[in-house]
Structure 1
Amino acid sequence: MEGTSSDQLFTTLMLAGGIFLVAVYFFASPLRRFFFNRKITAIVEAELTSNWKYYDNLLCNHNIYYKKLDAENRTKFISRVLHFRHSKEFEFVQIEAQPEMPILVSAAAIQLTFGLDHYLLDFFKKIYITECDYYYGLNQTPFQGHVSSQGIYLSWNNFLKGYRYYDDAQNLGLHEMAHALAYTNFVAHEDMDYDFIARFYRFSKTARPIFNRMQMYSDAQISNDTLLDNYAATNYNEFWAVCVETFFEKPTQLYEQIPELYTALSDLLNQNLLATTGISN
């Protein structure tokens, strides 16, 4: 009887230990994130108080989208930029780091997600910045930027060009952040925005036929009859990223030429760029 009692006690202790470890697994990470976010919030509040003018001037000089915001939304934008910047590790590859680089890259992410509740793209912990085009893996074609499970990659010269010429619907920062947003919600399944996901499926009801027509024209070597760059016909993921670039850089033309696509993007991102502030809510 004593042996049976000891075995039962051992089994009970093992079971309790297992339950404890499972609890630690499920609750420790959110708890760490909670205290980490509290720490970041304190840092952001201090920076907003001491350096708001610096960030405002920097973004006004480099980001046309930010420059059009009213005072209240500018403060909200900078706050989100700083939260994003402090939640990432920036690695500079064969380029000297400059303090404005993480801020401007973070601003591209916040511009895309400014109408969303989930804006940190939590899956991505690292952002790599190279000086110019680079080779990745076994690919023989140089990259300007890309997104993978390892992080977000951007070439700095092309990133700057995207905001310097802000009317050609060619914006590397917005393009790669669009890929990162899709990756977060549909591949990594981390920090998922279920409202965004539901709206994306609604967006696709409008966007898919446009994409299919572009692919048909591309396969038949017929000239593209839409405002969107031909690169959008590569695949649906690239179509989405090109739509984002066009939405932000050519909103009026997009609304005039493909109003249903503009409306679908406006609904998806919760932003109306033809309104005064550009924010729907």
Structure 2
Amino acid sequence: MNTSVGLSILSFTIILIAFYRIFFNKILDPLYFFIFKKTMLVHWYPFGKKKLPQTNRQFLLDNFNFYKRLPENKKAQFDHRVHRFLNKYQFIGSQIDVQPQMKTFLAGYYVMLTFGMRKYLVDTFKKIIIHPQVYYSSHSEAYHKGEYNRPLRAVIFSWEDLLNTHHSQEDNVNLALHEFTHVLHWNALRSNEMSAIVFYDEFREMFEIFKNHEKMEAIREKGYFREYAYENQFEFLSVILEHFFETPLTFKAELHDLFERTRKMINFDEKLLYQN
């Protein structure tokens, strides 16, 4: 490749990045959001998609029904995001050796939860800490199965409880989804990125429901959400997202409006929850 061709490619790349950052981010995307209340080009990867090793893909196929049901083009998008997740965040084992499949396991849940968001990798956490079992948290001075520790910028899990809640996939308890939702909630309170704004706007409407005693009693009487949902706004949201992914048909039938608000909040394509 001669120098002039190399410079032309470099110039084109710089122009493309400038277009994305200025015209798209500052003009086109906000306009689209203003009209349609959602982000555009969620799965636009101008520099190509990263591929996962076959061992990672096979692990996802064996352990994630959601991934297994995706058409091939969506699987490629999912693979790219898992690859990016694994390269962005640090994994630390506390009295446990963190194996590659453990990383893929957590990446799979995070990517599933954020699959409708364009800006899915957030800076409100930097590391994932895994304990073998329930652990004592010096932050809250209590024993936990999992937590989002903001001062440490860490999401912390008991591996035993991650597996237990993964294997029982229709009881609406999922530790990975629960704690990663806390991360997204906190990110939405701080970020001005479009996916975070959509998340925050829909959650504000949910919070109005949460503050309304009459509406909350009506929800409570249905007996669909477990009692922990009513602890505070943060737990309410995390429990909602657990139900959204584990029993979506029941959720939609029981609380249709809340289901729709949840779907819009994470900009999720509902068909991906059910398709064969």
TM-score, normalised with respect to structure 1: 0.73
RMSD across aligned positions (CA): 2.7
Equivalence map 1:20-31=2 (5 Å): none
For the Cα contact (< 8 Å) 1:207–1:261, is it kept in 2? Answer: no
| 1-structure distance, mates of 2:250, 2:207 | 17
Find out whether 1:256 has 2:257 as its counterpart. no
1:228 corresponds in structure 2 to 225
Which 5+ residue runs of structure 2 have no aligned equivalent? 1-45
| 2-structure distance, mates of 1:168, 1:123 | 29
| 2-structure distance, mates of 1:211, 1:66 | 36
Deviation, 1:139, is 4.6
Deviation, 1:75, is 1.1
Deviates more, 1:194-203 or 1:156-165: 194-203
Find out whether 1:243 has 2:240 as its counterpart. yes
For the Cα contact (< 8 Å) 2:188–2:200, is it kept in 1? Answer: no
For the Cα contact (< 8 Å) 2:90–2:128, is it kept in 1? Answer: yes
For the Cα contact (< 8 Å) 2:91–2:127, is it kept in 1? Answer: yes
Deviation, 1:208, is 3.3
Equivalence map 1:1-281=2 (5 Å): 45=50, 47-48=51-52, 51=53, 53-137=54-138, 139=140, 141-149=142-150, 150=152, 151-186=154-189, 189=190, 192-206=192-206, 208-209=208-209, 212-213=212-213, 217=217, 224-273=221-270, 275=271, 277-278=272-273
Change (3 A) 1:223 1:119: closer
| 2-structure distance, mates of 1:140, 1:204 | 30
Deviation, 1:162, is 2.0
| 1-structure distance, mates of 2:62, 2:211 | 35
Deviation, 1:207, is 5.4
Letter in 2 for 1:241: S
Larger Rg, first or second structure (1 or 2): 1
Instruction: Return the structure number with greater relative CO, CA threshold 8 A, min gap 6.
Output: 2
TM-score, normalised with respect to structure 2: 0.74
Letter in 2 for 1:132: Q
